[in-house]
């Protein structure tokens, strides 16, 4: 079954053609980073306008590169939420219209389930059930994944997302946007033990996170060391990163132990982080847990993961109606009892 995936929830216009929810025939991602960089973050109105310009050429390119013809597509999967409403509407309305014209079904996909399904596009996919840490610019959550379409939320951030903390700290240090990749790189040149920032575990027995405290600590450090901090940026980056990564690693491993799962998945933009990937693998060695992390290009937003999730929705008879609409916020509790829509 050939699925065209479309993703426009934030600042990437993406389209992909995926066969049987597993084999990527093409994946095109048009990034808007250059548009938003001068503002230090995503400007929603600009994002919607850029999606409108990009959606037709990006979908065209994905179909061309896949070697398939539009009339060989069996269904369209598109991100329905959560995300920026104006951005989501561009992909969602396009997908409705295109599916209607091609007379094929279309499926609204939850963006977070899309990220979770990114592990199935790689060779060694984890068996169910497994636990997943989803860490991105908008979300940081831990899930028990029972099937492709049934995920139970175990915990989430109470304030900033992990990626958001990276982005905000990069902004404070004058490193530009997005902050994750640059802090990842600079941290590699610094000493994580030179400047210690607090680890926020909240309750060590639950799976919630908080990243606003570390942001304040870094801010306070900058304010109290106005003359030195610009020479200490790699050490600040390394100290901040170690504090975030230690908590993420601790909680996802504890989640696996609590649920008796032998497999852990790391997904979302922050799963591209070199230290996080390394730390979770190191920390799980003793427990003999397997860690599944998508290739870097599948960690950030892409449409192949949306097509993969859409394939499994379709197999479970979940297709969308023309009257369905986008949603901006994460569904509470996971997606187990959402039912057909």
Q: Is residue 311 a contact partner of residue 3, using CB atoms and an 8 Å limit?
A: yes
Binding mask 225-264 for ligand KG4 (x = CB under 6 A): ----------------------------------------
Using the rule CB under 6 A, which residue among 163, 190, 234, 334 binds ligand KG4? 163
Instruction: Give every CB contact of residue 191 below 8 A, 6+ residues apart in sequence.
Output: 234, 235, 238
SS (H, E, C) 99-141: HHHHCCCEEEEEHHHHHHHHHHHCCCCCCCCEEEEEECCCCEE
Using the rule CB under 6 A, which residue among 114, 126, 155, 181 binds ligand KG4? 181
Rg (CA), the chain: 20
Task: Enter the tokens of residue 82.
Answer: 């959560």
Instruction: Give every CB contact of residue 48 below 8 A, 6+ residues apart in sequence.
Output: 84, 86, 87, 89, 90
Binding mask 128-147 for Zn ion (x = CB under 5 A): --------x-----------
Span 91-130, contacts to ligand KG4 by CB under 6 A: none
Cβ proximity to ligand KG4: between 272 and 306 the closer is 272
Residue 289: strand, helix, or coil:
coil
Residue 92 to residues 59, 330, 334: CA-CA distances in angstroms? 13, 17, 21
Q: How far is the CB of 9 from ligand KG4 (least distance, A)?
A: 7
Span 4-23, contacts to ligand KG4 by CB under 6 A: 10
Cβ proximity to ligand KG4: between 126 and 300 the closer is 300
Q: How far is the CB of 315 from ligand KG4 (least distance, A)?
A: 25
Using the rule CB under 6 A, which residue among 81, 114, 155, 179 binds ligand KG4? 179
d(CA 218, CA 173): 9
Output DSSP code: residue 83: S
Using the rule CB under 6 A, which residue among 110, 160, 208, 301 binds ligand KG4? 301
- Rule CB under 6 A: is residue 82 a binding residue for ligand KG4? no
Task: For residue 216, give the H/E element and its range.
Answer: helix 212-224
Using the rule CB under 6 A, which residue among 142, 272, 307, 309 binds ligand KG4? 272
Looking at 61-69, 122-130, 164-172, 329-337, which segment touches ligand KG4 (CB under 6 A)? 164-172
Q: How far is the CB of 28 from ligand KG4 (least distance, A)?
A: 15
Binding mask 184-223 for ligand KG4 (x = CB under 6 A): x---------------------------------------
Using the rule CB under 6 A, which residue among 232, 273, 284, 320 binds ligand KG4? 273
d(CA 172, CA 175): 8
- Rule CB under 5 A: is residue 184 a binding residue for Zn ion? no
Instruction: Give every CB contact of residue 23 below 8 A, 6+ residues apart in sequence.
Output: none
Taking the alpha carbons at both ends of the chain, their separation in whole angstroms is: 21
From the list 284, 185, 173, the residue with the least C-alpha distance to 241 is: 185
Q: How far is the CB of 221 from Zn ion (least distance, A)?
A: 29
C-alpha angle 165-168-172 in degrees, rounded to nearest 5? 135
Q: Which residues bind Zn ion (CB under 5 A)?
A: 136, 301
Q: Which residues bind ligand KG4 (CB under 6 A)?
A: 10, 136-138, 163-164, 166-167, 178-181, 184, 268-270, 272-273, 300-301
């Amino acid at each position: 079954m050939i699925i065209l995936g479309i993703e426009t929830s934030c600042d990437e216009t993406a389209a992909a053609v995926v066969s049987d929810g597993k084999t990527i025939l093409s994946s095109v991602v048009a990034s808007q980073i250059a548009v938003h960089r001068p503002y230090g973050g995503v400007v929603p109105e600009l994002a919607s306008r850029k999606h409108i310009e990009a959606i037709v050429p990006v979908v065209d390119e994905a179909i061309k590169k896949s070697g398939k013809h539009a009339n060989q597509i069996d269904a369209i999967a598109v991100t329905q939420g959560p995300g920026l409403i104006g951005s989501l509407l561009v992909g969602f309305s396009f997908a409705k219209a295109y599916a209607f014209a091609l007379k094929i079904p279309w499926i609204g996909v939850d963006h977070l389930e899309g990220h979770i399904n990114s592990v199935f596009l790689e060779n060694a996919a984890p068996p169910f059930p497994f636990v997943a840490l989803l860490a991105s610019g908008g979300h940081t959550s831990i899930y028990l994944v029972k099937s492709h379409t049934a995920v139970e939320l175990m915990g989430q951030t109470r304030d900033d997302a992990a990626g958001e903390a990276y982005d905000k700290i990069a902004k404070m240090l004058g490193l530009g946007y997005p902050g994750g990749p640059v802090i990842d790189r600079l941290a590699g040149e610094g000493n994580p033990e030179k400047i210690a920032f607090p680890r926020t575990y909240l309750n060590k027995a639950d799976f919630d996170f908080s990243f606003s405290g570390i942001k304040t600590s870094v801010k306070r450090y900058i304010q109290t060391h106005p003359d030195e901090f610009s020479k200490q940026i790699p050490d600040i980056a390394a100290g901040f990163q170690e504090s975030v990564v230690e908590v993420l690693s601790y909680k996802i491993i504890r989640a696996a132990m609590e649920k008796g799962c032998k497999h852990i998945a790391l997904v979302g933009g922050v799963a591209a982080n070199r230290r996080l990937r390394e730390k979770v693998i190191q920390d799980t060695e003793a427990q003999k847990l397997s860690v599944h992390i998508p290739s870097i290009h599948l960690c950030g937003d892409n449409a192949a993961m949306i097509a993969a999730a859409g394939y499994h929705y379709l197999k479970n008879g979940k297709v969308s109606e023309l009257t369905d609409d986008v949603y901006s916020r994460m569904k509470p509790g996971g997606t187990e009892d959402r039912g057909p829509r």
